[in-house]
Every structure is written in C-alpha cells, then in structure tokens.
Copies of this chain bind each other. A is one copy, B any other.
Amino acid sequence: MIFKTTYNDNNYPIILKQNALTDIKHYLKENEQNIVLIDQDVYRFHKEYLKEQLEDDDIKFLTIMSGEVCKQMSYFESISEKLLSMNITRQSQLIAIGGGATGDFVGFLAATLLRGIDFIQVPTTLLAHDSAIGGKVGINASVGKNLIGAFHRPRAVIYDTKFLETLPHTEIRSGYGEIYKHAILNSEADTTRLMEVYPSIKELSQLENIETFLKMGIETKLKIVIEDEFEGGVRKHLNLGHTFGHGIEYLTKIAHGEAVMIGILFQKVINKNRNLYDTLDTIDALINYLKELGYPLNILNDADIELIFEYMKKDKKNIGQSIQMVLQKGEASFTIESVSKDEVLDAFNELKALINE
C-alpha cells in the first residue's frame, strides 16, 4: 500500500509492501549521483536482492557500521568527508538502507551536506516504521542520544517487508515497542487487538499479519507529524515512554524500542500514583505480557536510578530545569507534565518491586 504525506508542500510517498524495493527505480535520479549507504549487516544478508534491484553500475554502495554506533560525531565526520571527496553536488541523492540508526545518520548527512541534499529511506526493521516517518534525523552526543540533528524530509520511504524476515528477536521486540506505543496513542481497541494477535514470543517472532499493524503505526504517526512537524505541541505525545526509556537505553544499551516499552510501563506507574489513568491491575497485566514476550525487565534491578534521573534531565522536551513526561489521562488522551525527582524515585522502586513479585 502507498501512503502520501499531506504537508503544504514537498510531500513524499511511503510505500509499504513485500518487495517494495523494486519500486526504487522510479526515484533514482538520472544523470546524477545516487549513493547507497547501507548497514553492513543488512548488506551481508541481502546482497543478491539488493544488487538485483539496484543494478545500475553507476550506483555506488558504501557500507556503514551497523546500529547505533554509526551515530557518533567522529563517524559522521569520516563519512561526510568521504562523500564530499566523491564530488557530490546538490543534485546528488543518498539512499539509506537499514534500521532506525542508519536512517537517522544518513538523514543527518543529507540534511547538512552542501546545506541539504535529497535522500530516500529504505527501512529494514520494525522499529524503523517509526523513525522513517516524520523527518527527524540526527546523531548522538556523548551526553545523550539524538541531541544533534535536524528536520529533513525524505523524498520517499520505501518500506520493503522482505527485509523483516531476517530480524533477530531483540530487533522484533524493539520495533514492537513502538508499534505498541502507536496502538496506545490510537485506542484501547488497537492495543487489545495487538495483544490478542501476539499473545507470546512465538506469534510475535512469526510476524504474521504485521503489515496491518505497521499500517496502523504509520497512520497514527503521520497524522501527528503532519499536524505538528516541529514538535511544538501534539508531536510531543510520540515521546510516550521515551523520557525514562532513553535513560535506561543510554545506561544499559538495550535496544531502543525495548527501552521505550519499559518506559511505557514506568509512565503507567506515575499515572497510577497521580490517579490519572492506570491501576495496579493494568500495570500487572502489562508486566506479565512483557515477561511473556521476553522484554528485559530485570535490567531495572541493577540500574542506578540516580544516573537515569541525571540523563532524564537532558531530555529535549524539558523546560528550564524540570523534567517533562508524557502521561496518560484517558483512552487516547495524553498530557505533558512536570515530574519531580521524588516521584521518579518512588515510581522506580515500586516498579522494581512489582516486577520481582
């Protein structure tokens, strides 16, 4: 299926289907450089398929480091120098093939090289259904994730579900974290349906019917980012689970979406303590479900909440020195609130106790 953004200008298509990559030829630039920057692991797994679809001899392939490590400033410098030495022009185009990190990194190259050139996103993970939509690109600073970046829309997103076949379990759980978040943002019905279709790690790892939920996730996200591209208001809701999630991710290096899922759980405890939405029952239910799917909840036992809190203070949503968190106040209804250090400590200790029950 094909989605189309509905901005005032510079709209782009999002093509979601098995073998979507066969459509990429319509988006290559004739008589200009098209340079593929691809996660080295994706390249190893899918070399033959990729060569078939991008068979033009003029297309150059650069493999890049796999996963989040590519988003270091020193690596950004080295790849940008490499691309510039290939005499790219403002008409050149980058093609990012890989997961969320690859898209963020290549997108930031495209946003800043020669003050901005075109790029195409070819997401290869479940998680990237989230990060490939909305134009956020960026790299990491030593003090935190995605702290240096830009908004830069791709020319097209080509989401070929064929790539999902080789995803490891951790990657599936990671992507599922963001799908689950989009379901919560959408409705209770979507959330329940998701848990019914994937009751355990077995069904989830088979990814049956996943296109339905990728469609749900993409539609949910598109609606929000088109309403609020630069995150002045409602787009902040997409950070559900991310304030605590980014902290635990940064500290323990677990996968982004796994950390977001734990962040969603954490936020539920705060909801409950403020009598906003969740109850002990809904929290327990989610804990059991996440254990069934194999989320690394035990990581909280050894995590230093003081360090997590320090990290949370660097979140981009913050205003002044107070921490801002997305909380849920009703079905598909959210609010952004200041949360005190005491509240964070209490919720953390309570959550740890609940997990170990």
Contact = CB atoms under 8 A, between A and B. Distances in A.
Interface in A289-342: 313-314, 316-321
A79 to B, nearest CB: 11
B141 A80 contact: yes
A316 B115 contact: yes
A89 to B, nearest CB: 5
Interface string A81-102: 1001101011100000000000
B320 A89 contact: yes
Contacts of A319: 89, 91
Interface residues of A, number: 40
Contacts of A320: 31-32, 89, 91
Nearest to A232: B90
Contacts of A144: 84
Number of copies: 2
A73 to B, nearest CB: 5
A115 B84 contact: no
A149 B31 contact: no
A115 B81 contact: no
Nearest to A321: B87
B87 A314 contact: yes
Interface in A83-130: 84-85, 87, 89-91, 111-116
B150 A112 contact: yes
Contact of A112 (B31, B112, B317, B321): B112
Contact of A151 (B73, B113, B115, B313): B115
Contacts of A31: 320
A93 to B, nearest CB: 13
Task: Please name the 3 residue pairs, one residue from A and one from B, whose CB atoms are nearest each other, closest first.
Answer: A115-B149, A73-B77, A114-B316
